[in-house]
Structure 1
């Protein structure tokens, strides 16, 4: 945990330094040109945001192209929270987001009796490679041209692409694992490949409409200790099945076992704690247990993730209705969850969550079971 936070601090410091140097260079260049300083500076700022947006699109596009090239099936393409999905043969825009990510391209690997033979390097490498290719093209063009408007745009696009490409291919966790880290991790630990393959298959089947409990049980078996960041992940996934089946005590046991494991990424730890909090509420844990778990860090994560993730609305609905006994606050969370019905990209998850929310709603007026 301390090591991961150290790398996060280094990463943020590096971003501040790079941003400061880039900003100072742009200001100096604009001053040198003379003329409308404020107007030129505003244009440079606009180009920065445009270049950043294009860099994210190119990065996720790289994953898409390389994934499709190696036999993967398209599921969704997300920039920010805007998500393009393909469901029932038709494309539609939905809304979703994951903390710590500017975008995401989700693909489903092809069915295979031997997951270790399914290609994975190009899919993960594609984003960073496309960014570096963009940098190789646009940085020289930006330095070569004397036309101010193109120079600023091209240099920023090239510089941001180079930065994102290099950073993404470095094997680090900040706080999510980079593509470079994923590749190195799976090369070192072959069972990690199988674990990721099965997770992507599960996710793909859920996008097609299957709930966690409807997915074949063999996809939840990872074949032993993986030795990497997906160590014990099957417990987290099995817990989602138990929660859907309302086997909350078994789900709590699996989640507690998972959280005792090594190599936990911050985002996985927070997700597990969210589900553990829900199970403790449903199992009638003491007030002290619930308040201790629902600390400042988890509250911040739930608040952010709850903007687009229905599972967090389900958690908050149970927290307000069954634990806090605050029906007014609970109804706000219920209404927010219902608003997500037409914009949620993961059909199977949506079905499972709506069923759970209805179950919680039917408990209204009953006394919460206490330990």
Structure 2
């Protein structure tokens, strides 16, 4: 059933993307006559190519604008319901609040075009506001689509057909964003906003799990490592609770904390157990957990058959997409050092890590990963 729901979500996303593609084709047709005209009058090749590419340029501009609008929606509705600013990201450009100041950083997450993370208000009687924060992005996209549609109608009434069609495309992109993010779906390696909102509302445990995720992020932004946060936050949920996508993240955090505490054997057992179960853990976290298991195995018995099994297609695909993520670089470093015995390659990976670390938004993560890399260094010297 879970696989079927994922396929339905992906199919719907493709269908909505096709609607967007059809709109681009419609806009391109508007420029066809103009291109033919400038060709007849001897226009330059550069001008002709620019006119042909203009519809795509317009579309990409509106995609960027709608991404900003979406994340701004999370920010606005979050602030209105008692949240506090933590970070705001578009693409890999991120602004994060640390030590009372907004600082620029670089960070990307596979499967996301942006992300707005806020510090949640305190829970009252086991509850806190979550619906508007989760759905604020889709609501803002929908509002912008209505506004763009109104402008398109105004342009049409004034005879500005080309400008009108551009705003029709803007309205279509806004609607697509609202639907893809608002209709509950599991899209590849991540869950969308609608899915997270539904998962949060399933039961009190899921609601608390959502609050904990935001509190953990708030503490990380403040420079606190997982091992130094309250232990009660990282209690492993019951097996049945792990089927909820929101609660499952707490299980992932519990394993991450064990890694930070260097309790590698225990972390590996827990990750092996979770990966073998039917849980709500998203594909992204599953692949990162496989990477952590590879690291644990490299420090332990170093069984090649187990390492090769963990380095499957899914894990390698995510590692490639997140090649600048600290945990990914740490595992690749250990693999080069302990499995491939290639000190030169390991050195280059370490250089990439340090370069990435200069603008990474969470210094506590960098500190933890450096310690794990030093642990790999110790194992290499002992070997």
| Structures share fold, TM-score greater than 0.5 | yes
Taking a change above 3 Å as real, the CA distance of residues 281 and 222 of structure 1, as seen in their structure-2 partners, is: closer
Give the stretch that moved more between structures: 262-271 or 122-131. Answer: 262-271
Give the stretch that moved more between structures: 104-113 or 322-331. Answer: 104-113
Query: How far is the alpha carbon of 1:6 from its aligned partner?
Result: 2.1
After superposition, the CA RMSD in angstroms is 2.1
**Residue number among 259, 263, 271 corresponding to 1:243 in the alignment:** 259
Query: How far is the alpha carbon of 1:135 from its aligned partner?
Result: 0.3
With normalisation by structure 1, the TM-score equals: 0.91
Deviations 1:213-243 (A, max 9, x none): 0001111137655351134443321221221
On the 8 A contact 2:184/2:192 being kept in 1, the answer is yes
User: Using the alignment, how far apart are the partners of 1:206 and 1:108 within structure 2?
Assistant: 11
Taking a change above 3 Å as real, the CA distance of residues 9 and 134 of structure 1, as seen in their structure-2 partners, is: closer
On the 8 A contact 2:237/2:250 being kept in 1, the answer is no
Q: Which residue of 1 aligns with 2:57?
A: 46
Q: Which residue of 2 aligns with 1:282?
A: 299
**Residue number among 179, 200, 206 corresponding to 2:220 in the alignment:** 206
User: Using the alignment, how far apart are the partners of 1:310 and 1:349 within structure 2?
Assistant: 7
On the 8 A contact 2:248/2:281 being kept in 1, the answer is no
Q: Which residue of 2 aligns with 1:82?
A: 93
User: Using the alignment, how far apart are the partners of 2:108 and 2:25 within structure 1?
Assistant: 32
Taking a change above 3 Å as real, the CA distance of residues 172 and 126 of structure 1, as seen in their structure-2 partners, is: same
Query: How far is the alpha carbon of 1:118 from its aligned partner?
Result: 1.0
User: Using the alignment, how far apart are the partners of 2:33 and 2:197 within structure 1?
Assistant: 44
User: Using the alignment, how far apart are the partners of 2:236 and 2:212 within structure 1?
Assistant: 8
Q: Which residue of 2 aligns with 1:253?
A: 269
Deviations 1:247-302 (A, max 9, x none): 11000011112213323321222122121222122222410110111012211211
**Residue number among 291, 313, 316 corresponding to 1:296 in the alignment:** 313
On the 8 A contact 1:239/1:251 being kept in 2, the answer is yes
- The DSSP-based 3-state class of the residue aligned with 2:134 is helix
Deviations 1:321-361 (A, max 9, x none): 01111111111111111112220012222221122222323
User: Using the alignment, how far apart are the partners of 1:331 and 1:256 within structure 2?
Assistant: 30
1:135 aligns with 2:145: yes
Taking a change above 3 Å as real, the CA distance of residues 13 and 347 of structure 1, as seen in their structure-2 partners, is: same
Q: Which residue of 1 aligns with 2:341?
A: 325
On the 8 A contact 1:44/1:152 being kept in 2, the answer is no
Taking a change above 3 Å as real, the CA distance of residues 5 and 67 of structure 1, as seen in their structure-2 partners, is: closer
Q: Which residue of 2 aligns with 1:14?
A: 15
Taking a change above 3 Å as real, the CA distance of residues 199 and 9 of structure 1, as seen in their structure-2 partners, is: closer
On the 8 A contact 2:24/2:169 being kept in 1, the answer is no
**Residue number among 204, 215, 230 corresponding to 2:229 in the alignment:** 215
On the 8 A contact 2:327/2:369 being kept in 1, the answer is yes
Unaligned runs of 5+ in 1: none
User: Using the alignment, how far apart are the partners of 1:112 and 1:9 within structure 2?
Assistant: 34
- Equivalenced residue count is 365
Q: Which residue of 2 aligns with 1:67?
A: 78
Unaligned runs of 5+ in 2: 39-47
On the 8 A contact 2:27/2:166 being kept in 1, the answer is no
- The DSSP-based 3-state class of the residue aligned with 2:88 is strand
User: Using the alignment, how far apart are the partners of 2:245 and 2:53 within structure 1?
Assistant: 43
On the 8 A contact 1:236/1:254 being kept in 2, the answer is no
Aligned runs of 1:1-371 on 2, under 5 Å?
A: 2-3=3-4, 6-7=7-8, 9-11=10-12, 13-31=14-32, 35-36=37-38, 38-112=49-123, 114=125, 116-145=126-155, 146-147=159-160, 150-175=163-188, 176-221=190-235, 224=238, 225-226=240-241, 227-261=243-277, 262-307=279-324, 309-367=325-383
Deviations 1:28-70 (A, max 9, x none): 2223566446443322221111100000000000000111111
User: Using the alignment, how far apart are the partners of 1:138 and 1:215 within structure 2?
Assistant: 46
User: Using the alignment, how far apart are the partners of 1:319 and 1:79 within structure 2?
Assistant: 32
- The DSSP-based 3-state class of the residue aligned with 1:230 is helix
